[in-house]
């Protein structure tokens, strides 16, 4: 079994190089099964392409670069999936560092699967000065079940799946995720669709650890991130309410807690300075945005060429740099 690691990036050259270095180190283990690293550059202006080119020329692991013109995270994930050659596709964010045993642990688990599985591992803070956001640190294994909240069950910065999962679920919904109107939740939308399609969705906290250097420390950054998460959560509710009505429970509890907070009840998170009221408002906003987009006929996968340079990208394989055209409109 062989795997492709897909890293989507924009203007994070330094952290990307740190991430790539950790993956190359993990790939040095002969049990890793890694066949390539695929970097999808979503319109960087900070010298990312040149830096990846230089690294690829020295790397023992094939590194390829795909470039697109600021289309957002979901579009970048889809571009990576379309070009990846591995039996397993692994997503790691550009601000993460993987543990030395990350790849061998991951491929050991996929090799033992008897059915299609989407899985993710533990996500620890890379810097303890950062706010405790976008992490999941529990140990042990757990599978998503009906009635459970899918948000944060597996984090997109540490997510992997077999080809069978991708064939069954399809592409990432490009209305979701960073760089899109719905801001976030492209990973949660995908794993929920996988679950509803009968795919096993597994959190493995005993292995596959990444360290997330997200850098959010100020109150402004924390509120901005939380706003994006809740807009995405609201859109998820609106999209999946018919098939997954249990998603509404979270909205109900947030509303109830917001009312209690107005009467002197506890805030959502005192340490982070977060209240329930904005959560409710941004969730409603996300649902309204999704409904409006759907009414306008916004597609989950815009046509190639409509706003992309989809087939126009640089490919790096080891030291070789070539230009390829995929036959799609720029």
Give the whole-angstrom CA distance, residue 92 versus residue 159: 7
Cα separation, 191 vs 119, in Å, equals: 9
- Which of 265, 136, 248 shows the shortest CA–CA distance to 202? 136
Residue with tokens 């230089």: 54
User: What is the reported pLDDT for 320?
Assistant: 31
**Residue-range domain boundaries for the chain:** 3-216+299-325, 220-295
Mean of pLDDT values over 30-59: 95
pTM exceeds 0.85: yes
- Give 92's DSSP letter: E
Residue 212 has pLDDT above 60, yes or no: yes
250-255 contacts, C-beta under 8 A, 24 or more apart: 250/149, 250/151, 251/280, 251/283, 254/279, 254/280, 254/283, 255/280
Confidence of residue 322 (pLDDT cuts 50, 70, 90): very low
Asked whether residue 108 carries a pLDDT value surpassing 80, the answer given is yes
Query: In CATH, which of 3.40.50.11540, 1.10.10.10, 3.90.550.10, 3.40.50.970 is domain 3-216+299-325?
Result: 3.90.550.10
Determine contact, residues 136/208, Cβ cutoff 8 Å.
Answer: no
Taking residue 96's Cβ as centre, other Cβ atoms within 10 Å add up to: 27
Summary mean pLDDT of the chain: 91
Q: What average pLDDT score do residues 88-94 get?
A: 98
Q: How do strand 123-125 and strand 88-92 relate by DSSP bridges? A: unpaired
> 187: closest CA among 217, 229, 215, 146?
229
Q: Is the pLDDT of residue 17 over 70?
A: yes
DSSP 149: -
């Amino acid at each position: 079994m062989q795997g492709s690691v897909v890293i989507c990036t924009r203007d994070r050259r330094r952290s990307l190089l740190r991430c790539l270095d950790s993956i190359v180190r993990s790939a040095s283990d002969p049990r890793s099964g890694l066949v390539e690293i695929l970097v999808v550059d979503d319109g960087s202006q900070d010298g990312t392409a040149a830096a990846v080119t230089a690294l690829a020329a020295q790397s023992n692991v094939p590194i390829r670069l795909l470039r697109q013109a600021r289309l957002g995270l979901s579009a970048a994930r889809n571009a990576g999936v379309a070009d990846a050659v591995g039996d397993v596709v692994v997503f790691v964010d550009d601000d993460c560092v993987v543990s030395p045993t990350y790849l061998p642990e991951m491929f050991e688990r996929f090799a033992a699967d008897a059915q299609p599985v989407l899985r993710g591992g533990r996500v620890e803070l890379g810097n303890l000065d950062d706010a405790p956001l976008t992490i999941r640190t529990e140990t042990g294994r757990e599978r998503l079940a009906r009635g459970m909240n899918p948000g944060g069950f597996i984090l997109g910065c540490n997510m992997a799946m077999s080809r069978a999962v991708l064939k069954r679920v399809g592409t990432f919904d490009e209305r979701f995720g960073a760089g899109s109107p719905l801001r976030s939740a492209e990973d949660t939308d995908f794993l929920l669709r996988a679950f509803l399609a009968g795919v096993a969705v597994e959190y493995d906290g005993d292995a596959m650890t990444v360290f997330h250097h997200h850098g959010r420390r100020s109150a402004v950054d924390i509120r901005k991130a939380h706003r994006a998460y809740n807009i995405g959560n609201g859109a998820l509710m609106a999209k999946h309410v018919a098939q997954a009505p249990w998603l509404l429970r979270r909205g109900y509890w947030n509303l109830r807690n917001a009312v209690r907070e107005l009467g002197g009840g506890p805030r959502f998170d005192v340490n982070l300075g977060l209240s329930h009221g904005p959560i409710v408002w941004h969730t409603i906003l996300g649902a309204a945005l999704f409904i409006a987009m759907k009414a306008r006929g916004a597609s989950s996968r815009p046509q190639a060429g409509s706003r992309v340079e989809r087939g126009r990208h640089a490919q790096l394989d080891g030291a070789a740099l070539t230009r390829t055209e995929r036959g799609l409109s720029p």
